[in-house]
Amino acid sequence: MLSTHFALLIITILALAFDYVNGFHDTANAIATSVSTRALTPRKAIIMAAVLNFVGALYSTGVAKTIAKDIINAKDVTTQLMAAALIGAIIWNLLTWYFGIPSSSSHAIIGGVIGAGLAKAGVGILQIEGIQKIILALIFSPICGMGLGFLTMTLLYWIFRDKSPTRVNSGFRRMQMLSAALLAFNHGSNDAQKSMGIITLALVAAGIQTSMDVPLWVKLTCATAIALGTAAGGWKIIHTLGGKIFKIEPINGFAADLSSSIVIWVATAFPGLHLPVSTTHVVSGSIMGVGAAKRISAVRWGVAQQMLTAWLLTIPCTATVSALTFYLISLF
């Protein structure tokens, strides 16, 4: 029993480490636009995002259950498998953070679990139907973000078409505080649940519990880890999202944050869905949609292409790293 508890401790530490890295890696999602338009100072923005990430992480557990039951069979889960999956995801997040590339923590952990699972038991370990549902959500959520961002921005341009741009942006600079707060809450509600699902899956596999219900201590520790990671900040990615895609004004930032929040909330809390989505992808898609509503040439599509490349590579790369990690761990 001691060895089982020790194994669970290792998985919990790695899952919390992933949550922490996820926090500072994805801080930009909630605050990039409000910082770039000076609606909030960087310090205030990070504190706000950290607090609301924590609160959002306690909101629901539907996504955690999806992660725990819809990727691999719980009966085949081992400590080595989960450790390899988490290590692969952490390595990819750190690499993309170092180079300032807005990649997806959601893709990273899903790719990690798939790669480690394949290395252990082959295709038979995978829950194909569940994986298909998750991947479809990951693909279509940024498209939805882009479309909603375009529509929201077009509507705002029409409503305020006869108003002074200076006055409009002054008002929306204050509104951005609300939209950034909403996005930070939704980011925490979706992203923190991924580590909750991993720890819960490990608990079920170890026979500590029989259901996929997330224990309170798992909720609190994961919420704390992502909040602390958020407080650490992620300035390189903030710079990319906040200015490199296109020059954002307060009205653009509000539209992008609101559009992203709606897409993430629907995926997280809408009955029957409870899907993990990439907040990085959704926010980036929304910013592109908002920029395209201004004019197509306003978006720096070269930067968007680099981000898309990183998105496409994340699952296969983390799957490969996690598979190799599993083989290495198995030698000891």
* Dist. CA 174–CA 227, nearest whole Å: 24
Residue predicted with more confidence, 72 or 1 = 72
Which residue carries 């649940």 as its tokens? 193
Binned at pLDDT 50, 70 and 90, residue 294 comes out as confident
pLDDT over 60 at 238, yes or no: no
pLDDT at 29: 66
Which residue carries 């995801």 as its tokens? 89
pLDDT over 70 at 40, yes or no: yes
pLDDT at 78: 87
pLDDT over 70 at 243, yes or no: no
- Which residue range(s) make up the domain with 137? 2-330
* Dist. CA 271–CA 281, nearest whole Å: 22
Q: What does the pLDDT average to over 41-48?
A: 81
Q: How many domains does the chain have?
A: 1
pLDDT over 70 at 148, yes or no: yes
**Local structure of 316: helix, strand or coil:** helix
Short-list 313, 93, 105, CA closest to 197: 105
* Dist. CA 168–CA 202, nearest whole Å: 51
pLDDT at 233: 63
Instruction: Give the burial class of 62: count Cβ atoms within 10 A of its Cβ; 0-12 exposed, 13-18 middle, 19 or more buried.
Output: buried
Do 328 and 121 touch, CB atoms closer than 8 A? Answer: no
Tokens of 106: 């959601």
Instruction: Give the burial class of 40: count Cβ atoms within 10 A of its Cβ; 0-12 exposed, 13-18 middle, 19 or more buried.
Output: buried
Do 2 and 156 touch, CB atoms closer than 8 A? Answer: no
pLDDT at 48: 87
**In angstroms, what CA-CA distances link 197 with 51, 64, 66, 115?**
21, 4, 7, 17
In this structure, the chain runs to a length of: 332
pLDDT over 80 at 2, yes or no: no
Q: What does the pLDDT average to over 281-289?
A: 88
Partnered with residue 31 across adjacent β-strands are none
**Average pLDDT over all residues of the chain:** 86
Percent of the chain with pLDDT over 70: 91
pLDDT, one tens digit per residue, over 199-236 is: 999 898 888 888 888 999 999 999 999 888 887 765 55
Q: What does the pLDDT average to over 14-43?
A: 80
* Dist. CA 215–CA 196, nearest whole Å: 9
pLDDT over 70 at 109, yes or no: yes
Q: What does the pLDDT average to over 120-143?
A: 92
DSSP one-letter code for 315: H
pLDDT over 80 at 311, yes or no: no
Do 169 and 253 touch, CB atoms closer than 8 A? Answer: no
pLDDT at 249: 87
The predicted model scores a pTM of 0.88
pLDDT at 61: 87
Which residue carries 């909403």 as its tokens? 182
Q: What does the pLDDT average to over 27-43?
A: 75
pLDDT at 239: 53
pLDDT over 70 at 307, yes or no: no
Binned at pLDDT 50, 70 and 90, residue 1 comes out as very low
Residue predicted with more confidence, 38 or 168 = 168
Q: What does the pLDDT average to over 298-309?
A: 71
DSSP one-letter code for 331: T
pLDDT at 5: 82
pLDDT over 90 at 112, yes or no: yes
Short-list 148, 151, 158, 175, CA closest to 37: 175
Instruction: Give the burial class of 190: count Cβ atoms within 10 A of its Cβ; 0-12 exposed, 13-18 middle, 19 or more buried.
Output: buried
pLDDT over 50 at 173, yes or no: yes
Please tell me the chain's helix, strand, coil percentages from 3-state DSSP, rounded to the nearest 5: 80, 0, 20
SS3 string, 118-173, reads: HHHHCHHHECHHHHHHHHHHHHHHHHHHHHHHHHHHHHHHHHCCCCCHHHHHHHHH
